[in-house]
């Protein structure tokens, strides 16, 4: 957890308290939403319950940065993109205030609001995460280019607030994007150690958006495909290789400042301490990949499959030696993924990867497994970091021949929120 998100705010329950322990609280939220309900069912139900309380890890929502970027990536993701269903900036502000209130509650392992008493009252919280605990839940919010300008229209009067760095991504070689599963005005990235907690967050936030924003596309993921903290081991992606060995780690604050966090000099002001999120749904073409020899796979990646060591080295964490030769040929092939993606070959540029594996029902009639990587990266400037890197990979990378990019989006994630504030409030000042 980054130190910034460890801070305490006046309404937080003590660390370790869960939905169960904190139930029935009538503390008011920072965003000003009162909790006036008595919480009858919830209170009585939980008092008589003998269930274990699980997932007591709690990640602070408030802080200089939004949680879910520098905080250690947990095992599960629910991601959702929304289209705004209103042209009223007041509606957008209301939505962001309500989303903030929900995020504060849920990140503490509480219901959005205690389930109310009375025959005709519809619960604010759908309830499927009751008893589970916060399970390290984070919710990270972002704004897409179309929020600021859509087909030339200044739909919300926010055009002059649009960050220049939030321009649409270009088409890359081989892209096979589904428009309906790309883009979006708003996004939510919910991460948790428990998939039901991540689902519940997106469910609750989607429900609260009714009439103001509509679910455009969504994507669940598991088994984070990068480490984002020194406390984490390198996971293995669905191609069977360790992934993210050379990722930025949150502990490298100089790297985070240089490559991830937008500074006050980067503009606009409301993006200070924010970051730009790029999402790409990348299908693995298993029919071909699975038929390649071990050496063929290792040459495409540039690392040993099991150990993760760079070709020609012994250990996963050994430095890449891009100059090493054997019998007149480079040990790490010219088109190997690690060579083309290395900072050495990209003017030192790095990004913070925070993606997940995905697996979906097989496409009808295809006979193929539909699984791969839901790539997420955070960077200070997508067009100087992600775009040149991805262009190089799309053009020349041996690994890319086994991958199909089917979804793409970019979002501006503003800086964090202090108690009393709400996500993106700088848009309205």
Return the closest-CA partner of residue 239 out of 217, 223, 259, 216: 223
Element (H, E) at 412: strand 403-413
Residue among 26, 288, 294, 319 that touches a second copy (CB under 8 A): 294
Residue nearer to a second copy on the CB measure, 222 or 428: 222
**Residue closer to a second copy (CB basis): 67 or 111:** 111
Using CB under 8 A, which of the segments 157-165, 309-317, 346-354, 378-386 binds a second copy? Answer: 309-317
219 binds a second copy (CB under 8 A): yes
CA distances from 110 to 26, 92, 107, 115, 141 (A): 11, 25, 7, 11, 19
Q: Kindly provide the residue ranges of all beta strands, DSSP E only, lying in 104-207, ordered along the sequence.
A: 138-143, 186-192
Does residue 121 interact with a second copy by CB under 8 A? yes
Q: Among the residues of 188-239, which ranges form H helices?
A: 195-208
**Binding mask 164-183 vs a second copy (x if CB under 8 A, - otherwise)?**
--------------x-xx--
| DSSP 3-state of 21 | helix
Residues 130-159, one symbol each (x = binds a second copy by CB under 8 A, - = not), give xxx---------------------------
Q: Site size for a second copy, by CB under 8 A?
A: 82
Cis peptide before 346 (omega within 30 of 0): no
Beta bridge partners of 138: 191
Q: Closest approach of Cβ 51 to a second copy, in Å?
A: 5
SS3 220: strand
| Residues 41-100, interacting with a second copy (CB under 8 A) | 41-42, 44-46, 48-49, 51-52, 78, 80
| Cβ within 8 Å of residue 118, ≥6 positions away | none
Is residue 331 near a second copy by the rule CB under 8 A? no
Q: Are the C-beta atoms of 355 and 374 separated by less than 8 Å?
A: yes
Of 259, 249, 265, 273, residue with least CA distance to 348: 259
Q: Which of 27, 215, 394, 404 binds a second copy (CB under 8 A)?
A: 215
Site for a second copy contains 196 (CB under 8 A): yes
Footprint of a second copy on 230-249 (CB under 8 A): 233-234, 236-241
Which of these segments, 163-171, 283-291, 320-328, 390-398, binds a second copy (CB under 8 A)? 283-291
Selected binder of a second copy within 29, 73, 95, 115 (CB under 8 A):
115
The vertex-40 CA angle with 38 and 41, nearest 5°, equals: 145
Residue tagged 């009714």 (tokens)? 210
CA distance 108 to 103: 8
Q: Name the segment binding a second copy (CB under 8 A); options: 28-36, 153-161, 291-299, 396-404.
A: 291-299
Regarding 220 and contact with a second copy (CB under 8 A), the answer is yes
Site residues (CB under 8 A) for a second copy, limited to 368-387? 368-369, 371
């Amino acid at each position: 957890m980054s130190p910034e998100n460890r801070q305490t705010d006046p309404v937080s329950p003590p660390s370790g308290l869960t939905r169960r322990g904190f139930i029935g609280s009538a503390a008011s939220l920072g965003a000003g939403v009162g909790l006036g309900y008595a919480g009858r069912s919830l209170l009585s139900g939980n008092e008589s319950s003998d269930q274990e309380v699980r997932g007591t890890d709690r990640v602070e929502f408030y802080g200089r940065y939004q949680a879910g970027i520098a905080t250690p990536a947990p095992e599960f993701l629910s991601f959702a993109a929304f289209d705004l269903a209103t042209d009223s900036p007041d509606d957008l502000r209301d939505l962001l205030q309500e989303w903030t209130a929900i995020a504060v509650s849920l990140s503490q392992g509480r219901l959005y609001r205690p389930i109310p008493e009375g025959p005709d009252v519809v619960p604010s919280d759908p309830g499927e995460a009751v008893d589970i605990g916060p399970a390290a839940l984070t919710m990270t919010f972002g704004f897409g280019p179309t929020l600021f300008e859509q087909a030339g229209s200044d739909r919300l009067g926010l055009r002059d607030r649009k960050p220049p760095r939030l321009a649409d991504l270009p088409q890359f070689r081989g892209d096979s994007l589904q428009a309906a599963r790309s883009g979006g005005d708003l996004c939510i990235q919910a991460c948790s150690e428990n998939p039901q907690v991540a689902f519940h967050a997106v469910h609750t936030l989607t429900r609260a958006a009714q009439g103001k924003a509509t679910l455009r596309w969504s994507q669940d993921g598991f088994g984070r495909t990068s480490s984002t903290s020194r406390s984490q081991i390198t996971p293995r992606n669905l191609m069977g290789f360790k992934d993210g060995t050379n990722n930025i780690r949150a502990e490298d604050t100089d790297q985070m400042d240089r490559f991830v966090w937008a500074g006050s000099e980067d503009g606009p002001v409301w993006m200070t301490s924010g970051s730009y999120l790029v999402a790409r749904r990348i299908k693995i073409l298993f029919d071909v990949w699975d038929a390649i020899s071990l050496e063929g796979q290792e040459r495409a990646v540039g690392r040993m499959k099991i150990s993760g060591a760079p070709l020609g080295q012994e250990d996963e964490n050994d430095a890449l030696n891009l100059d090493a030769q054997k019998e007149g040929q480079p040990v790490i092939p010219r088109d190997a993924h690690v060579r083309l993606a290395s900072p050495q070959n990209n003017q030192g540029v790095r990004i913070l990867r925070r993606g997940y594996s995905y697996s979906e029902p097989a496409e009808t009639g295809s006979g193929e497994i539909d699984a791969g990587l839901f790539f997420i990266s955070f960077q200070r400037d997508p067009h100087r970091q992600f775009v040149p890197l991805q262009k190089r990979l799309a053009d020349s990378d041996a690994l890319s021949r086994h991958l199909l990019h089917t979804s793409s989006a970019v979002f501006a994630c503003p800086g964090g929120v202090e108690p009393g504030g709400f996500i993106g409030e700088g848009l309205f000042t």
